[in-house]
Structure 1
Amino acid sequence: MSKRQTASAAALPSLPDRGNVLSDVEQLGIGMFWATDAEGRLAFLSQRALTDLGLTAADVIGKPLTQVFSEAEADPDAAHQRGIGFKLKAHSKIEEHVVAIAAANARSPELGTRWWRLNGRPLVDGSGTFLGYRGSALDITSQYARDTQTARHSQVDELTGLANRRKLGQRLTATLAAFRASQRSCALMMLDLDRFKHVNDTMGHPAGDELLKQVAERLKSIIGDSGEVGRLGGDEFQVLLPDMDDRGTLGELANRVVQSLSQPYQVIGRRAIIGTSVGIAIAPYDGVDTDDLTRAADMALYAAKEARGGTFCFFTTGLRDAATKTAKLGERLRDAVDRGDLNLAYQPLVDPATNEVRSFEALLRWHDEQDGPISPADFIPIAENDDLILNIGEMALRQACQDAMQWPDTIQVAVNVSAKQFVRPGFRKTVAAALEASGLAPSRLELEITESVFVGDLEAVDAVFRDLKKLGVRLALDDFGTGYSSLAYLKHGHFDKIKIDQSFVRGCTENGDINPAIISAIVALAKALDMVTVAEGVEAMDELELVRARGADLVQGYVYSPAIRQDAVLSRFADGTMQVKPSGPPRHRAERISIFRKVGLIHEDHYYDVILRNLSKTGARITGLAGVPKGTDVVLDLGHGQLVVSKVANATESSQGLQFETALISDGSGGFMTRHRISPYSLAEAGIPLAALGAGAFPLAKWREGHKSPPTFVQLDLGL
C-alpha cells in the first residue's frame, strides 16, 4: 500500500458493526426482527420485542409462528388479505401483514393485546432448499387502535350500536355478490316504527333516543344469529337474513318482530307504546342486486303501512301497479270528499240468543263514477295517511248521530274513530258538537277505537279516554287481538265492549283450529271485566253456532245482514220489530279471492294457458281447458317460480276446481302465495334468463315447445 492509500484509509471513519446497527434500530423503536426455521417455528425474536411483551425467549422460541401471532380480526383489511398460515405454507412474501399478540401470551395481562405489522422473506440456500423466514416487525398498537375506532364509527350507529346505513349497504352488496356466485338466497326486511314521531314530539327527543335503543335491543334478541340488524337512520331499521327464502318462516319471524316491538316500553319513567310495519323482499326472486332488492323491500313496507300498520307484507310484482293505482285513487278520493260523495251504511249487531238488533255500526261507502263501488279497505288507508281522515271522520260522526235520532231510543250507533282523530287536540269537543247538533243522548253513541290509539304517550291517551267517559259516550275496542298489545290496558276500565276480530272467527269451525279457544278466552276476559263481547265477520251458520256457544253477547256479519243504507234501515224496521233472522251457508268455506288473470297449468310434458278465477289457501277455480277429468294431477304455475302441485277435485266442460297438495300462505296484504319458489338460478340453468321473471312472464314456458306427445287436453280460446 502506498503512503497516499495509507493516509486515505486512515482518514475514513471506522464502519459500525452490523449487529450494533440492528441493535440501535431496535432500541430507537424503528423496528424489531424475527426468524423461523423451515417448519415455521419461531427461531429468533428481538430482545426489544420480548421486553415490550414481558416475555422471555423460552416463552416463544420453538413455537409455531401462527401460535405466537394471530390474525387481527378487527383489522379493516383482514378480510382482503391471505392468512399468515397460508403464506407460510406457500413460502410467499409477507408484506405489511397485521397480526395480534394476545394478552394471554404475555406474563403481564395488563399489557393487553399488541398489534404488529410484519414483513418477511423466505430464505433458501444455494441448492434452493427452504430454510425458513427472516423478517422485521413494527409495533403499530396506537395507530391500529385509532384506525379501528375510526372504522368502527364509520360503520356503527352511535345511538344504538347497530350497523349503520353505510355498513348495511356494504354488507348487502357483498352478500348478494357472493350469493349470486353460489346461487344462495337472502332475505331483506325493512322496518319503520309506527307513531314514533308522536312519542318524540310529546315526550321529547331524549325519550325518543331511549326508545330507539330499546327497539334495537329487542330486534337483536329476536333475530339473534339468524341475521344482521342495522339502523338506517331516524326510526328506520333493516334486517339482513342470509339463506332464508321460506316465506312461511319469514312471515312468522316478521310477526314476532311486530308483536315484540309493540309491547309497552318504560321510557324516562313513563310508559309508551309504538308499533312497526315490516316489508320483506327475497333475493334472487325479487332482485339480484342491492338497489333492486332494497327497492322491493321498501315497496313491501309501504304496502304494509298502507294496509293498516302493525303488520308485514311481502313484495309481489303487483305492488308496483298497486302503488300507481293508490296514487291515482288518492287524487279522486280528495275530490269525492269535497263533493260529499262518501256516505254511510249501517250493519246490525245482533243478540244471537233472541236475534234482536241491539245497535248498528256506521260504515263508510264510496261509489266512484269511474270505478263504481270502492272498498273501504282500499280508500280508508289512503285517507289515514292524509289529513282527509279528519274531515271524513267528523262527517261520519255528525251523520251517524243524525241518522240514529230516527231509530228507536233503545238502539245505539257505533262510529269508527281513527287514531289520528283520537289524539288530535279538541276531539272531545268534536264529539260533543255532533251530539248537541243532533240531539242524540251520549249513552246511545259508541266510539269504536282500534288498538293503534295506544301507540304513543299513554298518559295523553288516558286523558282523552277520561274526557270521553265524562261526556257519557260508550267505548268499544275494535279488532281486538290483531294489532298492538292492549291486554294490560284493559284493566283501566275505559271500555264497555270488546269486538273479537273476524280473523279469529273465520275458519274457527275447521278441525284443529285454535281460534275457538282464543274466542273463549276473550269472552271470559270480557265477562271478568264486565264488558260486552261482539263476534265480527260471522258468515256461516256453523260459525254462528260456535260463537253463540262460546258466549259472545253480540254477533255482526253477513249471516245476519250486510251494511244497508239509512232508508233501508227505516223501511226494514218500520213496524218497530228490531229482529233479523240468520241466513247463510251451513258451513264455513275457505276464504277465496275473486280474481281474473292468466296463469299456466302443467300436465305431463305440456304447458297450457288458463284463467285463474278464484283462489284460496287450499284450492282454485280455473277455466280455459276442456276434457280434464276429475282426479287429474296437475301443477299450477302462479308465476315467478310459484308452482303448486294440485289435483282436479271437480270439473265441468270448461272449468276445473283444483285442490292443492300444500296450502298456500298469506302474503301479508290480503293475497296468497307459496312458501317456496323455484329459484331463478335453476330456471337460468334450464336456459331461461333471469329477465324472463318480469311481470307477466311465464318462467316455465319451455313446456310450450318440444312436446313429446299430443296434448291431453283441449286448449280453449281465453278471449283475452
Structure 2
Amino acid sequence: MADSNTARRDELCAECPARSAADPLTGLADRRQFRERLAAALAAPDADGPGVLLIDLDRFKAVNDALGHPAGDVLLQAAGRRLRSALRPGDTAARLGGDEFAVLLGRPDGREAVAAVAARLVELLARPYVVRGQVAMVGASIGVALAPGDGTDPDTLLSRADLALYQSKGQGRGRFSFFAPELQARAEARRALELGLRAALPRGEFALHYQPQLDLGTQSLSGFEALLRWHRPGIGLVPPGAFIPLAEEIGLIGGIGAWVLRTAAAEAAGWPAPLCVAVNVAPQQFQDGRLVETVREALAAAALPGDRLELEITESALLEDGGWGTMGQLQALKAMGVRISLDDFGTGYSSLTQLRSFPFDRVKIDRSFADDAAVVRAVAALGASLGMRTTAEGIETAAQLERIRAEGCTEAQGYWLGRPMPAGDLPAVIRRFGDRGVGEAA
C-alpha cells in the first residue's frame, strides 16, 4: 500500500481516468466491471478466494447540501484517488454509484491483512478534503466479505458484504465489519418483521394503550398518553422499540401515525372533559405537509375540541426540518387549539435552544432524570418561567412522586400511577382517580 505522501500526491494530481475504467467521474471501474472481475476472481482455480469491501462515505450528503453537487463530485474524485493509492496493482477499486465504492482484493493474504486494508481505508477516507478552497469532512463505513467462507458466487458475496456494511453503519459509522452468520439471521428476521409490519395496519393488528398523566397541583387525572401496540399473529406483543423505528425507516409511519391520531381522538371523545389525550408524532410525519389536515380531520370526525389533543414531538423534529416547514405546521396546529409538548427533554443536543424556539405547552422530562433532583428542579423552574407545564416521566415509586412534586413539576407519569392499558379499562380508572385521588390511585 502507498504511504500518506503518495496518497496526497495522487489527490493533488489531475489524473485522467484509466482506459479500462467505466466510471466517467472517478476513473474507477463501474458496477458492471467490478462484478465481472469478481466473477473472474471467484472462478480462478488457483486462488484462495477474493475479498470484497463495500464502502459508503458517511456525511457525504451534508457536503452536497452545503457546498453543492459540483463540490461533491470533486470530493468523490479525490476519494477515488485515495482508494486507488491504497491498493496493490492486482486489486480493483470501483465506484458503484453515488457515494458507494467497492474494493476487490484479488489475493487477500488472510483475514488480518484484509482488516489492515479496511482500517487503512477508513483512516484515509476520513482525512480532510480541500474542495474548491473549502475544507470538507466525511468518513467511511465498510463491510467485508471473504470467499469462499462467506460465499462462492458474486451475488452472495456482495449481499453479505452489504450486510456487514449495514452492521458498520448501525454501530456508529466510521468503522469496518466482517460478515458473520448472525448478520444473515438478523437480516432475515428484519425482513420478516418488515413484511409483517406492512400488513399490520390493513389487517387491524394495531391497538392503542393509554397511560395516566396526573396533575400534581389538583391531585387529579389530567389525561392519558396514547401508546401504540402491535399484536403480531403467532408472535404476540411486539415492543414499540422493535417496530416503530423500522416503520419510520421504510416510510410507513405516516399511515400508522394518521391511524393513531384518528383512533386516539375517537376514543378520547368518550372521556369526560377536560381530559386530554397525548399522541406522539414522529419527525417523518411532518415531511408530506399533511399533518395539520390529518389532525383537523381526526378532530372533526371525533367531535373532539382541539384543546383536548396534545401532540408530543422530540427536538429532532425541529433539528431535522429538511425544508418541511415543521415550525409552520406547529403554528397552524396551535391555532387550532391543539397543545404541543416537547418530549424526552434532556436527551438531545440543543434542548434549551429548542425549548425557546416555540411556545410549547408542556415539556416532558425524560425518565432517565427521574432521580436527578437538580435536573428536575432546573427544568421545572425553566418551564415555570416560560409558562409551560412540566411532566416527569418514569415515576415508579411513591418517594419519586413526592420528590418531583417538591421540585416543582406540575404533572407526573409512570408505572406508580398506572401502566399503559387498553381503552376498555379507562372508565374504571377515571372513576377510581376521581373517587380516591392520586395518592391512592396505584
Q: What TM-score comes out, normalization by structure 2 length?
A: 0.64
Tell me what 2:234 maps to: 370
- Retained in 2: the 8 A contact 1:350–1:359? yes
Q: Distance in 2 between matches of 1:516 and 1:236?
A: 48
Q: Distance in 2 between matches of 1:523 and 1:438?
A: 34
Tell me what 1:407 maps to: 271
2:328 aligns with one of 459, 463, 469: 463
- 1:405: how far off? 1.3
CA 1:547 to 1:281, structure 2 compared with 1: closer, same or farther past 3 Å? farther
Tell me what 1:557 maps to: 414
Q: Which amino acid aligns with 2:396?
A: E
Tell me what 1:717 maps to: none
- Retained in 1: the 8 A contact 2:264–2:277? yes
Deviation string for 1:142-186 (max 9, x for gaps)? Answer: xx9999442999xxxxx9xxx9999xxxxxxxxxxxxxxxxxxxx
Q: Distance in 2 between matches of 1:304 and 1:207?
A: 22
Look up the SS of the partner of 1:573 in the other structure: helix
1:296 aligns with one of 164, 178, 181: 164
- Retained in 2: the 8 A contact 1:412–1:444? yes
Q: Distance in 2 between matches of 1:330 and 1:209?
A: 35
1:491 and 2:356 aligned? yes
Q: Which amino acid aligns with 1:473?
A: V
Q: Distance in 1 between matches of 2:412 and 2:11?
A: 68
- 1:568: how far off? 0.5
Tell me what 1:450 maps to: 314
Q: Distance in 2 between matches of 1:503 and 1:277?
A: 31
Q: Distance in 1 between matches of 2:139 and 2:15?
A: 33
Q: Distance in 2 between matches of 1:328 and 1:450?
A: 29
Q: Distance in 2 between matches of 1:189 and 1:548?
A: 52
- 1:452: how far off? 2.2
CA 1:314 to 1:371, structure 2 compared with 1: closer, same or farther past 3 Å? farther
1:478 and 2:337 aligned? no
- 1:442: how far off? 0.5
Q: Distance in 2 between matches of 1:382 and 1:574?
A: 38
2:208 aligns with one of 344, 366, 370: 344
Tell me what 1:568 maps to: 425
Q: Distance in 2 between matches of 1:406 and 1:164?
A: 66
Q: Distance in 1 between matches of 2:27 and 2:224?
A: 51
Tell me what 2:389 maps to: 532
- 1:207: how far off? 4.7
CA 1:373 to 1:459, structure 2 compared with 1: closer, same or farther past 3 Å? closer
CA 1:145 to 1:424, structure 2 compared with 1: closer, same or farther past 3 Å? closer
- 1:189: how far off? 11
Tell me what 1:517 maps to: 374
Deviation string for 1:535-586 (max 9, x for gaps)? Answer: 12222344334333332221111111111111100122247548444788xx
- 1:351: how far off? 2.8
- Retained in 1: the 8 A contact 2:287–2:324? no
1:500 and 2:365 aligned? yes
- 1:496: how far off? 1.0
Q: Which amino acid aligns with 1:402?
A: A
In structure 2, the gaps of 5 or more residues are 19-24, 30-53, 76-94, 102-114, 120-137, 151-156
- Retained in 1: the 8 A contact 2:221–2:430? no
Deviation string for 1:637-687 (max 9, x for gaps)? Answer: xxxxxxxxxxxxxxxxxxxxxxxxxxxxxxxxxxxxxxxxxxxxxxxxxxx
Tell me what 2:198 maps to: 334
CA 1:539 to 1:148, structure 2 compared with 1: closer, same or farther past 3 Å? same
- 1:391: how far off? 1.7
- 1:235: how far off? 7.2
CA 1:569 to 1:235, structure 2 compared with 1: closer, same or farther past 3 Å? farther
Look up the SS of the partner of 1:468 in the other structure: helix
- Superposed CA RMSD in Å reads 5.3
- Retained in 1: the 8 A contact 2:213–2:223? yes
Q: Distance in 1 between matches of 2:377 and 2:177?
A: 32
- Retained in 2: the 8 A contact 1:304–1:313? no
Q: Distance in 2 between matches of 1:330 and 1:469?
A: 35
| Larger relative contact order, structure 1 or 2 (CA cutoff 8 Å, min sep 6) | 2
Tell me what 1:209 maps to: 68
Look up the SS of the partner of 1:334 in the other structure: helix
Q: What TM-score comes out, normalization by structure 1 length?
A: 0.41
Structure (1 or 2) with the greater strand fraction: 1
1:380 and 2:244 aligned? yes
- 1:485: how far off? 2.9
- Retained in 2: the 8 A contact 1:191–1:277? yes
Percentage of identical aligned residues: 36
Look up the SS of the partner of 1:456 in the other structure: coil
Look up the SS of the partner of 1:488 in the other structure: helix
CA 1:277 to 1:421, structure 2 compared with 1: closer, same or farther past 3 Å? farther
In structure 1, the gaps of 5 or more residues are 1-71, 79-143, 154-158, 167-187, 217-230, 246-275, 306-311, 509-514, 585-720
- Retained in 1: the 8 A contact 2:16–2:27? no
Q: Which amino acid aligns with 1:209?
A: G
- Retained in 1: the 8 A contact 2:163–2:183? no
Q: Which amino acid aligns with 1:388?
A: L
Q: Distance in 2 between matches of 1:480 and 1:147?
A: 47
CA 1:209 to 1:146, structure 2 compared with 1: closer, same or farther past 3 Å? closer
Q: Which amino acid aligns with 1:477?
A: L
- Retained in 2: the 8 A contact 1:349–1:359? yes
Look up the SS of the partner of 1:326 in the other structure: helix
Tell me what 1:394 maps to: 258
Structure (1 or 2) with the greater helix fraction: 2
- Retained in 2: the 8 A contact 1:534–1:554? yes
Tell me what 2:185 maps to: 321
Look up the SS of the partner of 2:15 in the other structure: helix
CA 1:294 to 1:553, structure 2 compared with 1: closer, same or farther past 3 Å? same
Q: Which amino acid aligns with 2:378?
A: A
Tell me what 2:130 maps to: none
- 1:434: how far off? 0.8
- 1:409: how far off? 0.7
Q: Which amino acid aligns with 1:413?
A: V
Q: Distance in 1 between matches of 2:204 and 2:264?
A: 15
Q: How does 1:34-45 map to 2 (within 5 A)?
A: none
Q: Distance in 1 between matches of 2:367 and 2:331?
A: 29
CA 1:145 to 1:301, structure 2 compared with 1: closer, same or farther past 3 Å? closer
Q: Which amino acid aligns with 2:352?
A: L
Deviation string for 1:14-54 (max 9, x for gaps)? Answer: xxxxxxxxxxxxxxxxxxxxxxxxxxxxxxxxxxxxxxxxx
Look up the SS of the partner of 1:557 in the other structure: coil
CA 1:147 to 1:503, structure 2 compared with 1: closer, same or farther past 3 Å? closer
Q: Distance in 1 between matches of 2:139 and 2:4?
A: 36
Q: How does 1:630-669 map to 2 (within 5 A)?
A: none
